Amino acid sequence: MGETAEKPDPLQGHTREWPSTPYSDEARAPAPPAETSCCIALFGDCTVDVDFPPAMRPENHLAVRLRRAFPGQPFLIRNLAESGGTAGDLIASGRMEAALATLARLDVAFVRYGVNDRKRDGIPACIANLEALCGRVVQKSVSAAIIVETGIWVDYPTHYLFDRNARLGPLYQAMRELAAEKGYPMVDVYAKMEMETRRGNWDLRVRGLPDREHTIHDDSFDQFFADDPAFFTNIHPNSRCLGMIADWEVEKLRALFGDRLPGLRTRDE
């Protein structure tokens, strides 16, 4: 053993000054000013306000893809979702106005509710609340693009204990009808998840019991519990699914706006 091996080595061969690389530069880039950026808000429930590290949350999945789909175009994303929330709760509690007040302005709003709404309200009330929420967004910004999203499809009976789709499917159909009536664009997450699963791409949700202590984010325990549908009975999307949803959201933005994000301004405008 040489002299170096006999001494403490706190840095272990690295200066701890992280180098400039494409990834590290992107991860540490400062947020652009709201005045000259496309401002995007994410409204929703626990499928949007997921309990993941920031780098794995929906806003970062979307940001990474927007930088590549719209290179050089500044944007800000605010995740205003609340786990356990419903569209009705957001309006009645006053949190809607408080959330909108945090935005300098709004160019795009993705709106995804359903899981909790279906538990607490009948379908007509869910749709009425969703319509009212979208109306509040329009009051905030007449020019904002409201994009309605359906929610999570589950792989019953192979990877879910009960047929939740039978309860949620009619709600999402009513959402499609509302979007068509009001002219709101839609990202049909529910239908797209079903399509992916039918293709064999079924690994789209976290595992474990639906509480934080038992949630498993990946397939590391599948070898022990893969034959037990209860192991997969968790409605929350995993990071792979969040990435796919972000791909679908970018696809919708490109269909609506071409190669330029809405709301971009120069400092003089």
> Domains in the chain, start-ordered, CATH in brackets?
34-152+163-190+237-257 (3.40.50.1110)
pLDDT > 70: percent of the chain: 96
What is the model's pTM?
Answer: 0.93
Q: Which helix (H) or strand (E) holds 38?
A: strand 38-44
Lay out the sheet containing 145-149: strands in order across: 75-79, 38-44, 108-112, 145-149, 186-187
List pLDDT tens digits, range 182-238.
Answer: 999 999 999 999 999 999 999 999 999 888 899 999 999 999 999 999 999 999 999
List pLDDT tens digits, range 80-131.
Answer: 999 999 999 999 999 988 888 888 889 999 999 988 888 888 899 999 999 9
Structure-model confidence comparison of residues 130 and 15, the more confident one: 130
Determine the straight-line distance between the first and last CA of the chain, rounded to whole angstroms.
67
pLDDT above 70 (res 15)? no
Beta strands in 48-138, from DSSP E residues, in sequence order: 75-79, 108-112
One-letter identity of residue 60: N
Residue 35: closest CA among 93, 88, 105, 99: 105
3-state SS, residue 145: strand
pLDDT at 132: 94
Cis peptide before 157 (omega within 30 of 0): yes
Rounded CA-CA distance 142/1 in Å is 72
